Structure 1
Amino acid sequence: MAHQPDESPGFLLWHVTLRWQREIAAALAPLDLTHVQFVLLASAWWLNQAGEAPRQHALAAHAGTDVKMTSQVLQKLEDKGLLEREVDPSDTRAKLLRVTDKGAALAERAVEVVESADAAFFAATPDAKTLLSLLRPLAAR
């Protein structure tokens, strides 16, 4: 049982997450993207590149985001001209998500910016591979 905050993995993870989120938000601000907008845009872009035009539920599952919040953020991305929602011919109630050319260019640039911010932030860790091996099982839960 941890009696001190610096002995609590959860407390430390909370603080690391907050610092990392601030760094990512600052890196994305010049691109006029929030962190959640970036995650959804990049996820849709990656899925589109893999030949998929995901529905909103599939995109939310891929990104790990709440479906209702995803819908609101997708509307903002659509308003910015970064993605389009098309009626799914197999189910007219559903919409397929496609990143526009403008959205693809921004997604590609944003991924570079975030990867650079990640590299700078995680440079303080002595072994990135070990960190990834520790995080993967937690992310898969």
Structure 2
Amino acid sequence: MKPGESPGFLLWHVTLRWQRDIAAALAPLDLTHVQFVLLACTWWLNGRGQRPNQLAVARQAGTDVKMTSQVLRTLEKKGLIEREVDPADTRARRLRVTDLGADLAPRAIAAVEEVDARFFGPVPVEDAVALLGRLAAEDGGPDGGQPS
């Protein structure tokens, strides 16, 4: 089999290209891709009346809990989120997007959605979502309706 016939090798190249495009779109907003995902997930959960803890955000984002904690500290230093001690469990931190974060999150989501629209444009959205959803489901996949 030639490399160009290997689904995994092709996925590797596609993923790298998509990540470069996302990074370029987020750079002017001073966000890395993982910072964006965690900010967007926190903003999305807050918008549904939830005050998630770090574990809930990590699950929503599909990220490692320790890495999530480190990145959330960075977002806190940037003034985009607040981490407050959970009165019910002093080991846990509840997350709330600040006004600055609430202003930035939808702009960052729009930038990422623009990249996605261009990147996936050659493929009907329903087909891309069906394929990627099927592949993501093998690992528990994201819940429907979460940010990109």
1:51 to 45, 49, 54: 49
- Aligned equivalents of 1:95 and 1:69: distance in 2? 15
2:130 to 116, 126, 133: 133
* 1:65-80 alignment runs, 5 A limit: 65-80=63-78
Between structure 1 and structure 2, the one with the greater Rg is 1
- Aligned equivalents of 2:58 and 2:16: distance in 1? 22
TM-score (norm 1): 0.95
Which residue does the alignment assign to 2:6?
8
| Alpha-carbon distance, 1:65 to partner | 0.6
| Alpha-carbon distance, 1:124 to partner | 2.5
Which residue does the alignment assign to 1:30?
28
* 1:94-109 alignment runs, 5 A limit: 94-109=92-107
My pick for the range that moved more, 69-78 or 86-95, is 86-95
Aligned residues, how many?
A: 138
Task: Return 5+ residue gaps in structure 1 as ranges.
Answer: none
| Alpha-carbon distance, 1:123 to partner | 1.2
Task: Return 5+ residue gaps in structure 2 as ranges.
Answer: 139-148
3-state SS, counterpart of residue 53 of structure 1: coil
TM-score (norm 2): 0.91
Which residue does the alignment assign to 2:16?
18
Over the aligned positions, Cα root-mean-square deviation in angstroms equals 0.8
* Residue-by-residue CA offset, 1:90-126 (whole Å, 9 max, x unaligned): 111111000001001100110011101111111122x
2:41, 2:60 within 8 Å by CA — same for their partners in 1? yes
3-state SS, counterpart of residue 108 of structure 2: helix
Question: Aligned AA for 1:10?
Answer: G
